[in-house]
Amino acid sequence: ESIYADGETNAPTQWAAHRAYQDLVQGDAEVWDYRKTSSHLDNDDIPTLFFGEMVFPWMADGDYAELSGLGLKHVADSLANKNDWPILYDTDRMCQVLEAGSSRAAAAIYYDDFYVDFDSSMKVANGPMEKMVSRKRTRSISLPRALVN
């Protein structure tokens, strides 16, 4: 979740996704506890939870335990508690570079993306860049060859 720590006003994240998820579980564990919902994947009445690209503190102890010995838990905790993030996204500078033609950009935007709101994507991609909007192959769209090379 460090991608959201854009400058010191948004840092540290302190496991924001985990804290938000814990609030949901405490409110209604039957609906939100992934250990309960994932044990009933054949039941359409129980929601499937999509965590997307989030990393939770317990993953280093469970799902990715083999990486814990390599320092994953320490690195993840350090990132979650980092409070001196620089500005990660200088949108004004990006627009200047793109408008000057010294760089190119492309955006793959999906109508039915599980993780990114369509209108938010269109707002961010509002600039001199090629936009590929699709509802077909979510998160696996191919970039035009001219942009890859």
- Tell me the per-residue pLDDT of 55-113, one tens digit each, with 9 for 90 and over: 788 877 766 767 666 778 888 889 999 999 888 878 788 888 888 988 888 888 888 88
User: What integer best gives the mean pLDDT of the chain?
Assistant: 79
Is residue 58 within 8 A of residue 21, CB to CB? The reply is no
Please name the helix (run of DSSP H) or strand (run of DSSP E) that holds residue 20, with its range, or none.
Answer: helix 16-27
Higher-confidence residue of 44 and 143: namely: 44
Of 57, 53, 71, 44, which Cα lies nearest the Cα of 15?
Answer: 57
Q: How confident is the model at residue 148 (pLDDT cuts 50, 70, 90)?
A: very low
Residue 140 — very low, low, confident or very high, per pLDDT cuts 50/70/90?
low
Q: What is the mean pLDDT of residues 140-145?
A: 50
More confident residue, 46 or 25: 25
Which residue bears the tokens 């990114």?
Answer: 116
- Would you tell me how many other CB atoms lie within 10 Å of the CB of residue 118? 14
Backbone angles phi, psi at 131, to 5 degrees: -115, 130
**CB-CB contact of 139 with 110 (8 Å):** yes
Tell me if 113 sits within 8 A of 138, measured CB to CB: yes
Residue 42 pLDDT exceeds 50: yes
Question: How far is it, in rounded angstroms, from Cα 122 to Cα 127?
Answer: 10
CA count, 13 A, side-chain hemisphere, 6: 6
Question: Which candidate, 63, 74, 54, places its Cα nearest to that of 1?
Answer: 54
